[in-house]
Amino acid sequence: WIESGRWRECEKPRIFVERAYQGFRFDAEVLTPAEIARDPANPHLSKYGLGGQVASIITLPTGDLGCFTFERWLRDGPPDSRMVSILDEHRPHLARAALIAARLELEKAQMVVSALSAVGIPAAVLRGDGRVATTNNLLDAMPDLVRAEAFGRIALVDKRADVLFKTGIESARLD
């Protein structure tokens, strides 16, 4: 499932965020039957007797999403409200854990660009959506070659090079 890349086609996280549900919800309470039918995870899960998720999506201050899903056995049907309440009680702890994980990833990215700086290589680490996570001092000192853009992105000053750069970023996002 992960190696196939089909998880990128899953609409659930986007829908949960767009509909601004706070707390845990059973996916059938949030998604329409058509949205559930389109979910590429369903065939994979159903072959193991799973179907329906209790999920919560937490938008972190870093811009990342903390996605927590608990699969249900098909035979068990929808969860009862008591079970969802128990998960909701743990949501603040899960949010903190997700934030810590995101901060650790940022620290790791900062260590990488620092190491590259130490050997004389200008560098940036980009997030999956193309926004800059961190840069090093060598890249920051190159305003004649690299400039900041809106929404936390960077661009190359040379227009032709920037087109190639953006094409490469978009290609990497789709891989």
Mean of pLDDT values over 12-30: 86
DSSP code for 161:
H
What lies within 8 Å, CB to CB, of 28 at 6+ separation is: 36, 52, 78
CA distances to 51, 101, 105 from 112, in Å: 40, 17, 11
Question: How confident is residue 16, by pLDDT bands cut at 50, 70 and 90?
Answer: confident
Edge-to-edge order in the sheet of strand 50-59: 25-26, 50-59, 65-73
pLDDT given at position 14: 83
Which tokens hold the place of 51? Answer: 């179907």
The whole-angstrom separation of Cα 140 and Cα 91 is 38
Cα atoms in the 13 Å half-sphere on the side-chain side of 52: 15
Average pLDDT, the chain: 88
Pair of tokens at residue 168: 């490469």
Instruction: Name 173's Cβ contacts closer than 8 Å, sequence gap at least 6.
Output: 128, 129, 130
- pLDDT bin (cut points 50, 70, 90) of residue 174 is low
Q: H or E segment at 138?
A: helix 137-140
pLDDT at 1: 64
